[in-house]
Amino acid sequence: MKRKTWMMRAGGLVLLVAMMLAGVGCVSSHSDVTYGSKGPAVPSSTLRQIKVGETSKSWLLGVLGEPSRSARTSPSTEVLTYVYTKTVDSNFSFFIFFDSDNRREERTVHVFEVEDGIVTRHWKEH
């Protein structure tokens, strides 16, 4: 009687391991990351180089490129806005039991007020 019980348990264990191994190939996930036209957000190390009252508009344009938009608020003052977007598309599936698609968009906006060609204010919008 013990031998029959032991063989049943061993057979069940072999079946369980076989099912687990077969299921491993049925799990998949991937993520795709894309950036908007401005590319990845400007790094903090670059932002730390910008000094209010010292940094010129020409330096800003040379390092960050053309802004996403600009607006003149007075004859000597303009606001330059840089918009960075990062989109992450994720997919996770487990055999036929579960399938999940997720899209997340992160937006970073840096605004620079420039007066007479010099940065006078800088802030990050959330």
Give the pLDDT of residue 33.
79
Give the pLDDT of residue 53.
97
The low-confidence residues of the chain, meaning pLDDT below 70, are 1-28, 94-98
Distance, CA of 115 to CA of 102 (rounded, Å): 43
Rounded to two decimals, the pTM is 0.67
What is the count of structural domains for the chain? Answer: 1
Contact 60, 82 (CB under 8 A): no
Q: Which domain holds residue 100?
A: 2-125
β-pairing verdict for 69-74 and 98-115: unpaired
Give the pLDDT of residue 118.
98
Quick: pLDDT tens for 33-67.
Answer: 787 777 888 899 999 999 999 999 999 999 999 99
